[in-house]
């Protein structure tokens, strides 16, 4: 009976640990990174696609992203404790120690970077390493300094599609810069909408991400509108330079106009509800536009 209980307790303990490691990955966010990398990979690929190589490359990107996100949570453990949206994470609740999370992050990065080296090239590996350093060790501490953190964070956040392109072409071309630029600009309304919605929580941790004077007012709403407006001409560049066709340009324009329309509501009422609409709109805009480019190419 004691042995049976012991086994049950060990089994429950292992299940709890596995759940914690799953949570540390932030699977949805890591999947979006892998998706964007895969988008750039397919967009830049010519001829028959090696699906095995493609899947391993995307999985490598997924693991590197998970490793970087885990490092972020290690560095922000004390700040996560005071925010309602993060206090239930594995590290603030002490379900996982910093040492355990550090070992986990290193393992994720070793496997992820190895897969990238095997399936891609040295340049892709170097850009991936640069992205990790920018996200975990530059962007993360800057969040308590000021809105410059959003600009810095947008760089690693926009690199996945460029990485995919470089993985199959071996160089950074103007096409890679275009798909990088779209995702780079997209992140400003995306991050600022999240910062608006989570403003009270962010203030508890000392995070300063909103632009202008850092307030939820018309000036911030105008900044969000301006960056969203930039997406309209940027969305046409893949068609202009032959990366994709006219159909995807139409989809990008329609999505851009709908995304932009949501910012007018925020400018009008400065409400959390309007900021939420922009946040959800940003989640829809990027994958829809990227899928449209891929379908247009195929």
- Strands (DSSP E) contained in 152-253 are none
Q: Inform me whether the pLDDT recorded for 55 exceeds 80.
A: yes
In the chain the first and final C-alpha atoms are separated, in Å, by 62
Confidence of residue 115 (pLDDT cuts 50, 70, 90): very high
Q: Inform me whether the pLDDT recorded for 52 exceeds 80.
A: yes
23-172: CATH topology: Tetracycline Repressor; domain 2 (1.10.357)
Q: How many Å apart are CA 258 and CA 133, to the nearest integer?
A: 35
Q: How many Å apart are CA 226 and CA 57, to the nearest integer?
A: 35
Q: What does the longest C-alpha to C-alpha distance in the chain come to?
A: 72
pLDDT of residue 82: 93
What is the total residue count of the chain? 298
Q: How many Å apart are CA 78 and CA 180, to the nearest integer?
A: 33
Q: Inform me whether the pLDDT recorded for 48 exceeds 90.
A: no
Helix or strand (DSSP H, E) at 187: helix 174-197
Residues 6 or more apart in contact with residue 108 via CB below 8 angstroms: 25, 63, 64, 66, 67, 70
pLDDT per residue over 215-235, tens digit each? 899 999 999 999 999 999 999
Q: Summarize the confidence of residues 144-148 as an average pLDDT.
A: 91
Q: Summarize the confidence of residues 116-136 as an average pLDDT.
A: 96
Residues 6 or more apart in contact with residue 95 via CB below 8 angstroms: 16, 17, 20
Domain boundaries, the chain: 23-172, 173-298
Q: Can you give the pTM of this predicted structure?
A: 0.92
pLDDT of residue 122: 96
Helix or strand (DSSP H, E) at 102: helix 98-119
pLDDT of residue 194: 95
């Amino acid at each position: 009976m004691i042995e049976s209980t012991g086994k049950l307790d060990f089994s429950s303990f292992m299940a709890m640990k596995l759940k914690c490691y799953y949570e540390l990955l932030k699977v949805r966010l890591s999947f979006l990174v892998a998706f964007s990398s895969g988008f750039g990979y397919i967009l830049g690929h010519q001829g028959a696609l090696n699906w095995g190589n493609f899947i391993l490359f995307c999985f490598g990107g997924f693991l590197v992203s998970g490793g970087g996100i885990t490092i972020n949570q290690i560095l922000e453990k004390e700040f996560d404790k005071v925010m309602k949206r993060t206090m239930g994470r594995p590290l603030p609740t002490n379900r996982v120690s910093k040492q355990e999370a550090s070992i986990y992050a290193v393992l994720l990065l070793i496997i992820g970077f190895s897969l990238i080296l095997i399936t891609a090239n040295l340049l892709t590996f170097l850009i991936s390493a640069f992205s990790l350093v920018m996200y975990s060790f530059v962007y993360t501490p800057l969040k308590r300094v000021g809105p410059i953190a959003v600009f810095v964070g947008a760089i690693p956040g926009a690199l996945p599609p460029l990485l995919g392109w470089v993985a199959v072409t071996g160089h950074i071309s103007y096409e890679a810069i275009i798909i990088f630029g779209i995702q780079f600009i997209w992140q400003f309304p995306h991050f600022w909408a999240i910062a608006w919605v989570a403003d009270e929580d962010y203030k508890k941790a000392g995070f300063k991400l909103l632009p202008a004077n850092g307030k939820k007012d018309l000036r911030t709403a105008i900044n969000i509108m301006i960056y969203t407006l930039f997406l309209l001409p940027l969305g046409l560049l893949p068609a202009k330079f032959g990366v994709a066709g006219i159909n995807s340009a139409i989809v990008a324009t329609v999505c851009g106009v709908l995304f932009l329309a949501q910012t007018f509501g925020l400018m009008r009422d400065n409400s959390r509800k309007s900021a939420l609409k922009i946040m959800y709109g940003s989640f829809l805009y990027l994958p829809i536009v990227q899928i449209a480019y891929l379908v247009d190419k195929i």
